[in-house]
């Protein structure tokens, strides 16, 4: 039976696993990289790979004959034969060990061969009993870090990142439209744009006659049905998350959407406000207290009507956390939040000159297809441990290559940026003279994450005080669910320093980074620091992560004026120039 319903995430997962197992087999790096690259490209494809013909697949940048054949095989059988063979070679627990920060394939193999460690539990036991530090080349510090890392993997809550949940929800809403629901939306934490979500809450306006929930429960995305009634279905999706789907009468759609969007804290504040006005607010609408059966709502059809009837400005879902937003809305002080349409460009991303999977031309084409006005094509600087970063010579020659592309994409204004290594002592990967010759410098830490709080803050302060530091990338370094943020950075001091030199801070849009967070981004803005929204794209499709960065910015309450990406190309370049000249004067 053909498995054309296998999702892109499903195909990508098979390729990622293959790459990991090949790494455990100490296979050729090129083959490993080819699988990772294919996985990334498929994840970001935007249409279902298994439903595409061989010709269509081969037309995709980065998919060659080998990968196209593998996708056909997966489509035919639902499994990937090459992966099945690899799976027989290694105990399944070994892969789980790779989730531990500080354990790569080499270490996993070493621990397996020397100590027979083939699961997370055995790994922890070996670390606790002191066996790991006895292995040549490992030692006590490594053992300590492995134990801490292993504990984090287990303790990670079963929540899904915002981005995959968003894609799933949008796919399910399409299915609901096919089931003839004109009004359908996702609610809950997903609509509020939380970093991770516990489940997907879906809502549709319609008649609860049982046929729709039944059809919904039979969708190919469903793993099993947890509860099924005429107006509600709770299902477990194959993607590993629960979904609650509710049908409500069209007349109360707004009230239900408001209720199920939450947050619970926001709902409570709204309800108290309603009470003070002699009204009640529930998923059935805003009613008089005397109308105990909710028969004559004053407002229920749309959220806008409800906020208005309560004497409030409309509150965007991203701000509904019960953190003072209702008081602001009553004084009409909710700002107009930045939106995707305000974004004119991206400045932090990667080509295959460093660790991106697409060529510079492919990235530039994708940026022009995004409708950006400008695009700073980026890459890592030296010295970077695992991937190959550019030195200044490499920067300059690739800048020339970028200039040559300008004729092909006349509508897009191009620049070149460098994600500049911030070394352990706070100095940069380029000399000052080289940095001065770099169009845009975005500093980042990729090594020595475990410095003590004071040392890490001092390192960052020194980097910020460099007059060529235009923006600071993902300052906490966290990877949600995998790596904790750097030990309590002194953000107020960093932001104060940045306000002094005019350096911006980034909101990184990678699904597992989201760094700055909504909280630290708000602090930055209050300190007078400009914010740069970044995709940090490592493939063309990842330019879509701008949506994530915008969502975090909205949760932080940022407006268009707080965000550098809303500037025209000319104004953005002007900003860099003025900022540097002010910082240079300040540093003298
Ligand atoms: P999650 O799923 O943990 O990421 O977070 P939410 O906010 O999506 O929570 P969930 O799915 O339990 O409920 C969805 C919304 O329904 C929630 O944001 C507000 C509303 N809600 C659920 N239970 C209650 C409740 O007991 N009281 C109130 N006022 N609202 C509730
Ligand atoms: Ca939820
Ligand atoms: Ca729920």
- The predicted model scores a pTM of 0.82
What is the token pair recorded at 460?
A: 């960052």
Model pLDDT, residue 287? 98
Q: Are residues 105 and 135 in the same domain?
A: yes
Specify the pLDDT at position 1: 41
User: Last residue of a domain, which of 205, 228, 248?
Assistant: 248
User: Which ligand has the shortest distance to the CA of 169?
Assistant: 2
**Which residues keep their CB under 5 angstroms from ion ligand 2?**
188-189, 199, 201
Give yes or no: residues 163 and 148 share one domain: no
Q: Looking at residue 419, what is its pLDDT?
A: 97
> What is the C-alpha to C-alpha distance for residues 529 and 511, in angstroms, rounded to an integer?
23
Residue 112: domain span: 8-155
In whole angstroms, what is the distance from residue 565 CA to residue 550 CA? 10
At residue 4, the pLDDT reads: 53
Q: Indicate the top mutation candidate among 189, 200, 257, 269 to test ligand 1's pocket, ranked by most ligand atoms within 8 A of CB.
A: 189
Tokens at 258, concatenated: 């408001």
C-alpha dist (Å) from residue 56 to 52, 64, 437, 492 = 6, 11, 42, 51
pLDDT at 436: 97
Q: Please say which residue of 184, 214, 248 terminates a domain.
A: 248
Minimum-distance ligand 1 atom for the alpha carbon of 244: 11
HSE of 212, CA atoms in CB hemisphere, 13 A = 23
Per-residue pLDDT of the chain (588 residues; tens, 9 = 90+): 445 567 787 888 889 889 989 988 888 888 888 898 888 888 777 778 888 889 888 988 878 899 999 998 888 887 898 898 988 888 888 888 888 888 888 889 889 988 989 888 899 999 999 889 888 888 888 888 888 888 877 655 579 999 999 999 999 999 999 999 999 999 999 999 999 999 999 999 999 888 999 999 999 999 999 999 999 999 999 998 999 999 999 999 999 999 999 999 999 999 999 999 999 999 999 999 999 999 999 999 999 999 999 999 999 999 999 999 999 999 999 999 999 999 999 999 999 999 999 999 999 999 999 999 999 999 999 997 667 899 999 999 999 999 999 999 999 999 999 999 999 999 999 999 999 999 999 999 998 888 888 899 999 999 999 999 999 999 999 999 888 887 678 999 999 999 999 999 999 999 999 999 999 999 999 999 999 999 999 999 999 999 999 999 999 999 999 999 999 999 999 999 999 999 999 877
Would you say residue 222 lies in a domain? yes
In a shared domain, residues 528 and 572: yes
The predicted pLDDT at position 156 comes to 52
Number of domains in the chain: 4
Complete edge-to-edge strand list for the sheet that includes strand 374-380:
345-346, 374-380, 413-421, 440-444, 471-472, 504-508, 531-534
CB within 6 Å of ligand 1 — which residues?
Answer: 188-189, 194, 197-199, 201, 259-260, 262-264, 267-268
pLDDT the model gives residue 450: 80
**193 and 147 assigned to the same domain:** no
Domain boundary among 125, 155, 185: 155
Could you give the count of Cα atoms lying within 13 Å of 127 in the half-sphere of its Cβ?
21
Q: Measured on CA atoms in the order 449, 452, 455, 460, is the torsion positive or negative?
A: positive
- CATH number reported for the structural domain that contains residue 542 in this entry: 3.20.20.140
Distance 467 CA to ligand 1 centre (A): 47
Give the CATH number of the domain where residue 280 resides. 3.30.210.10
User: Which numbered atom of ligand 1 lies nearest the CA of 259?
Assistant: 20
């Amino acid at each position: 039976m053909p498995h054309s319903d296998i999702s892109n995430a499903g195909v990508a997962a098979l390729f990622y696993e293959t790459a990991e197992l090949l790494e455990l087999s100490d296979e050729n790096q090129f083959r490993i990289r080819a699988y990772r690259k294919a996985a990334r490209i498929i994840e970001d494809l935007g249409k279902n790979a298994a439903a595409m013909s061989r010709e269509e697949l081969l037309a995709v940048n980065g998919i060659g004959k080998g990968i196209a054949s593998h996708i056909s095989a997966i489509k035919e059988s639902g499994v990937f034969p090459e992966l099945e063979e690899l799976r027989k070679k290694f105990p399944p627990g070994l892969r789980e060990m790779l989730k531990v920060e500080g354990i790569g394939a080499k270490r996993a193999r070493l621990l397996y061969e020397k100590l027979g460690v083939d699961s997370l539990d055995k790994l922890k036991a070996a670390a606790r009993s002191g066996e790991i530090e006895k292995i040549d080349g490992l030692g006590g510090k490594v053992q300590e870090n492995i134990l801490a890392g292993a504990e984090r993997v287990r303790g990670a809550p079963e929540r899904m990142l915002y981005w995959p949940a968003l894609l799933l929800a949008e796919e399910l809403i399409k299915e609901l439209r096919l089931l003839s629901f004109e009004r359908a939306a996702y609610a809950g934490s997903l609509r509020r744009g939380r970093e991770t979500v516990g489940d997907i809450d879906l809502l549709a306006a319609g008649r609860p006659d049982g046929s729709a929930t039944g059809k919904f429960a039979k969708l190919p995305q469903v793993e099993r049905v947890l509860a099924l009634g005429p107006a509600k279905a709770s299902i477990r999706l194959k993607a590993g998350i629960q979904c609650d789907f509710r049908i409500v009468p069209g007349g109360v759609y707004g009230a239900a959407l408001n209720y199920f969007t939450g947050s619970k804290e926001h709902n409570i504040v709204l309800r108290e406000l309603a009470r003070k006005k002699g009204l009640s607010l529930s998923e059935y609408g805003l009613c008089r207290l005397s109308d105990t059966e909710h028969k004559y709502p004053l407002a229920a059809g749309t959220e806008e009507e409800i906020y208005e009837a309560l004497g409030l400005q409309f509150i965007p879902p991203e701000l509904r956390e019960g953190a003072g937003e209702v008081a602001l809305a009553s004084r009409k002080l909710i700002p107009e939040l930045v939106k995707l349409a305000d974004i004119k460009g991206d400045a932090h991303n990667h080509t295959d000159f460093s660790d991106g999977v697409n060529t510079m031309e492919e990235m530039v084409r994708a940026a022009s297809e995004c409708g950006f006005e400008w695009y700073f094509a980026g890459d890592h600087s030296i010295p970077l441990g695992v991937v190959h970063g550019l030195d200044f010579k490499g920067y300059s020659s690739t800048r020339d290559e970028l200039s040559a592309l300008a004729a092909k994409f006349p509508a897009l204004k191009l620049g070149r940026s460098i994600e500049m290594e911030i070394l352990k002592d706070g100095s940069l990967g380029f000399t000052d003279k080289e940095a001065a010759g770099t169009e845009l410098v975005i500093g980042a830490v990729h090594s020595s994450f475990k410095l003590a709080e004071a040392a890490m803050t001092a390192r960052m302060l020194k980097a910020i005080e460099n007059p060529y530091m235009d923006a600071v990338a993902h300052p906490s370094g966290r990877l949600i669910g995998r790596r904790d943020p750097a030990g309590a950075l002194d953000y107020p001091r960093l932001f104060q320093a940045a306000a002094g030199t005019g350096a911006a801070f980034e909101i990184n849009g990678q699904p597992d980074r989201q760094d700055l967070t909504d909280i630290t981004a708000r602090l930055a803005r209050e300190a007078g620091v400009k914010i740069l929204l970044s995709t940090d794209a490592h493939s063309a499709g990842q330019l879509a992560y701008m949506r994530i960065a915008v969502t975090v910015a909205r949760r932080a309450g940022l407006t268009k004026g707080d965000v550098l990406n809303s500037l025209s190309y000319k104004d953005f370049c002007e900003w860099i120039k003025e900022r540097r000249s002010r910082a240079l004067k300040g540093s003298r």
